[in-house]
Amino acid sequence: MAGITFDHVTKAFGDQVAVRDFNLEVIDGEFLVLVGPSGCGKSTTLRMLAGLDAITSGTISIGGREVNGVAAKDRDIAMVFQTYALYPHMSVFDNMAFGLKLRKISRRDIDTRVQQAARLLGIEDLLKRKPGQLSGGQRQRVALGRAIVREPAAFLLDEPLSNLDAKLRVQTRAEISRLHQRLGTTFVYVTHDQVEAMTMATRIAVMNEGVLQQVGSPQELYDHPTNVFVAGFIGSPAMNFFEGTVRRVGGGIVIASDGFDIEVPQVRRDSFAPLEGRELTFGMRPEHIHDPAFVPAGTVPAPLDAQVEITELMGNETFLHLQRGETSLLARVDPRTAARAGSQTSVVMDLTHLRAFDATSGEAVPLEVPSTV
Amino acid sequence: MTTTRVASTGHRVSWWQRLPLHVVVIGVIILWSIPTLGLLVSSFREPSAIASSGWWEAFRHPDQFTLANYERVLGEQGMGRAFVNSLLITVPATILVILVAAHAAYALAWMRFPARGPIFLVIVGLLVVPLETTLIPVLRLFSHTTIEHQLPILGGNAFGTASYTGMWLAHTGYGLPFAVFLLRNFFVSLPRDLIEAAHLDGASDLQVFWRVILPLSLPAIAALAIFQFLWVWNDLLIALVLLGDPTLAPMTLKITNLVSSFGTSYQVLTAAAFVSMALPLVVFFAFQRFFVQGMLAGAVKG
């Protein structure tokens, strides 16, 4: 078991910088998920950690030992590939035992370890088969098993679920989480799927265009994104954004957006007042826009009229695709809503959960003010 | 490499639509097989019968077939020894090419080193050099470096002209460009993840090569083995130039000598020719599955 440290790590392919000044401390035993859109540098980061790609500058340490010059096989890590990378000519047993044989571990120990891992993953019956005779889910388990038997200091997983169908993906997600709990080893998991990140991670590191955007627990990232990118990337369906300026009108404060104004209720005026005149991007999650008939207690309501373009019934909730002027909004409302597609409706935004970002830099602008001054 | 049959959604090609194709293919097969069949039949006929009638007449008198030609060729004319010589030249020359080419191909496909691309280009470029232009330089080189020490068991000099080792080296050299080209292109088409997984599992390059790459490349290696085997087995030119000693002569050389001394004794020539064809035929039919697969090597991905 070991913690992992990235210290000012940069990777360039010629002029192309894939990862820029990456700093991250992976705590011993945690499940860290590297997430970001494709091409954001997350896989490159993992490959540098594995020793499959050279580091252009900076250092990576595993368990306190700098590994920049250490060959992949000597880094004491195991990796699960997106394609599983099982040896097609070897049986499941031999696939799992391959790394142990090369490390000159006694035959009896190999047998015990492989059997143990196979039991843990429920693949005891498959040990004699070849990978070609297995289903996608079974191959996935064998790939995990091959990593487990090595008893490495850290597991690296590169999009291990992306080749599975939707149902199996949900199931395997839970299994990998359970595996992490049982083994208690450091997991570094790369995915482009923020749902996987949210459901499995102890902490999430969000990357975009080679730059680390934010690191934190799933809840932290969801509630307090540090910039527009993280706000938009984490959460499904995604956060609504609209441009606007805080203005003083008469005695009150409004958020003036393109074609509509949102009146800020008395209780929240103090938090918006300091932002007066600034160009901002506002963000509001769909679940914080309510049908006026079903507003939960504690909401700081800001009403808004909008055109309902489409309604999507989910059973336990209904999605309203709203249009107001140039702005499209998605609301996740109570399924008992009376709003119908094509009609005009009124919704209530909960300003407690409104997030503000600088319109040019995209960085979060704090809206909270201390309750007692 | 799955063959997709025309699915039920597409139009079905019925057998009579494919009939012209089948007729043409079968026609070509028959046309190409006739000389070989004639050779085979003639090799079992009496000299007088060969002289008086065509080989197709032989089926009217099946009682006239004889094994005498083979007895004579293998015994008196020394084709038996020539057969062994051919094997002694061909088998090592085939194994050597595969061993050297496979290692080189792995390095060219999967190891990072300076000038990897240009080196591969030069090797492929050697494919266009005509063999004939190299014969004199190689012969001169061999005659300068000949070690005139009779090898035990094998026979011939230890190295240079009139030696088996010289023949192995020459055939290996001539076979390498194509072998490296074929294997490198096959190795490159193997999934990168597999090689990386093996490295992470703790394998060195040599272990990756022996335990992952080679087992997965058997079709390509088998195809190469057949190519190289046939090429060396059928070679006359290199043996003629580099092999002075008639006791070391392979069958091709022996048959050429037979032609000059038994120019009209077709019964001897046909039997000799068929003996020399027999082994390549066995090799081809034994490995023809790999042969076809291997010809697609590198062209079609997995």
A57-66, A330-339, B7-16, B235-244: lowest mean pLDDT where? B7-16
What does R_g of chain A's alpha carbons equal in angstroms?
25
Q: Are the beta carbons of A34 and A188 closer than 8 angstroms?
A: yes
pLDDT in tens, A219-253: 999 999 999 999 999 998 999 999 999 999 888 88
Distance of CA B292 to the CA centre of its chain: 14
Among partner residues B202, B211, B216, which is closest to A88 by beta-carbon distance?
B216
Please tell me the distance from the alpha carbon of residue B237 to that of residue B235, in angstroms, as a whole number. 6
pLDDT in tens, A117-170: 999 999 999 999 999 899 989 999 999 999 999 999 999 999 999 888 888 899
Cβ–Cβ below 8 Å for B200 and A82 = no
State residue B119's pLDDT score.
95
Cβ neighbours of residue A25 closer than 8 Å, sequence gap 6 or more = A3, A4, A5, A6
CB proximity B207 to A under 8 Å: yes
Chain B residues close to A46, C-beta within 8 Å: none
pLDDT in tens, A58-106: 999 999 999 999 999 999 999 999 999 999 999 999 999 999 999 999 9
Concatenated DSSP letters of chain B: -PPPPPPTTS----HHHHHHHHHHHHHHHHHHHHHHHHHHHHHTS-HHHHHHS-GGGGGG-GGG--SHHHHHHHTTT-HHHHHHHHHHHHHHHHHHHHHHHHHHHHHHHH---TTHHHHHHHHHHGGGS-HHHHHHHHHHHHHHH-B--PPTTT-S-SBSTT-HHHHHHHHHHHHHHHHHHHHHHHHHTS-HHHHHHHHHTT--HHHHIIIIIHHHTHHHHHHHHHHHHHHHHT--HHHHHH---GGG--HHHHHHHHHHHSTT-HHHHHHHHHHHHHHHHHHHHHHHHHHHHHHTTTTS--
Mean pLDDT (whole number) for B215-221: 88
SS3 content of chain A, % helix, strand, coil (to 5): 30, 35, 35
> What are the strands of the beta sheet with A57-62, ordered from one edge?
A16-26, A4-13, A57-62, A65-66
- Tell the residue number behind the tokens 């080792």, with chain if given: B165
CB proximity A82 to B under 8 Å: yes
Chain B residues close to A85, C-beta within 8 Å: 191, 193-194, 196-197
Please tell me the distance from the alpha carbon of residue A164 to that of residue A172, in angstroms, as a whole number. 9
Residue B93 has pLDDT above 70, yes or no: yes
Residue in chain A lying closest to B196 (CA)? A52
B35-44, B165-174, B194-203: lowest mean pLDDT where? B35-44
State residue B94's pLDDT score.
96
* Among B177, B164, B181, residue whose Cα is nearest residue B134: B177
CB proximity B76 to A under 8 Å: no
Mean pLDDT (whole number) for B41-56: 85
Q: Are the beta carbons of B238 and B167 closer than 8 angstroms?
A: yes
pLDDT in tens, A33-46: 999 999 999 999 99
State residue A117's pLDDT score.
94
Exposure pattern of A42-68 as b/e (b: 16+ CB <10 Å)?
Answer: bbbbbbbbbbbbebeebebbbbeeebe
Alpha-helix runs per DSSP H in chain A: 42-50, 92-102, 107-121, 136-148, 166-183, 194-200, 218-223, 228-233, 269-272
pLDDT in tens, B101-150: 999 999 999 998 999 999 999 999 999 999 999 999 999 999 898 888 88
Its ipTM equals 0.84
What is the least distance, in Å, from the CA of B97 to any CA of chain A? 24
State residue B117's pLDDT score.
94
CB proximity B189 to A under 8 Å: no
For residue B1, name the pLDDT band (cuts at 50, 70, 90): very low
Residue in chain B lying closest to A85 (CA)? B194
Percent of chain A at pLDDT exceeding 70: 98
Cβ–Cβ below 8 Å for A79 and B200 = yes
A71-75, B182-186, B256-260: lowest mean pLDDT where? B256-260
Among partner residues A51, A81, A103, which is closest to B197 by beta-carbon distance?
A81
pTM for the structure as a whole: 0.82
Assigned token pair, A345? 């409706």
Residue in chain A lying closest to B202 (CA)? A73
State residue B11's pLDDT score.
59
